[in-house]
Structure 1
Amino acid sequence: MNGSPSSLLSATRVLEFLNLERCLLKTVPIFATASNLLTMKYLILSKNEISKLDYHATFINLRNLETLNLAENVLEQISEDVFKPLRKLKVLVLRGNKITHLPENLFQNMKSLANIDLSHNLIGSVPVNAFRGYHNMEYHVK
């Protein structure tokens, strides 16, 4: 799927669920975050080879996304503003990656976020303010 054209889903107008699990992806494909996919609520990118999320506009078109699953990739680097456009995100799964560091503002302004799974990573410490303001969030960090 790494060689798929960026216009792969361009004719799609309504898509709520996209599962790209086990597609050998090295990056988040442009076709999976295109501007015509505003209705998407669930994006599954687990069990791929994605190593970094460093472009701030990666998810800019997915304003209605509620679940993002990036489990079991090889994520090491996450830009602190990559999730900012995802204001309706409720579930974020980052389990089973190689994350060592969480930017302090990574989850800032994500008021809908209710469940985050960071288990089975290499995180040594969590910034003091990483989850400030989240009183009912369920999070898993091991």
Structure 2
Amino acid sequence: MIQRIQSVYLVLAVICNGALPFVFHLWKIETNAIYFMSDITYTILFGLSTSLALLSLISFKKRQQQFVMNRLNIILNLILLGLFVYRTLNLSGDMPVISEKGIGMFLPILTILLLVFANKAIKKDEDLVKSVDRLR
């Protein structure tokens, strides 16, 4: 069923990875805001994460497959977060060029939280179905 709570979490994860990177910048160098589209690696990882969350949302009848796809998506977002941290550590603050970090770098953390909540709800549904099967 598409109206389950994990579907809401997955829709929010799709929005967080699919739409919000266009709105929030990753970092700003002087007056130029750098969005995720400036680097092909970030674009690919955000696209893969969005498509994986969307695919997980569509496969709502297969809870185990949905659970595994969400775990893969969590790993993908951890890789994306690691790349952001690496890039942040390479942006030096001592240079005459003023650089500041943007809020777009925290989008993978929000997505990971949403995917963890979705996995908890999927696990709860799976346990409920197993308990009903035992009663039969």
Structure-2-length-normalised TM-score = 0.24
Structure-1-length-normalised TM-score = 0.23
Return the structure number with greater strand share.
1
Higher RCO, 1 or 2 (CA under 8 Å, sep at least 6)? Answer: 2
Instruction: Kindly name which structure, 1 or 2, has the bigger radius of gyration based on alpha carbons.
Output: 2
Return the structure number with greater helix share.
2
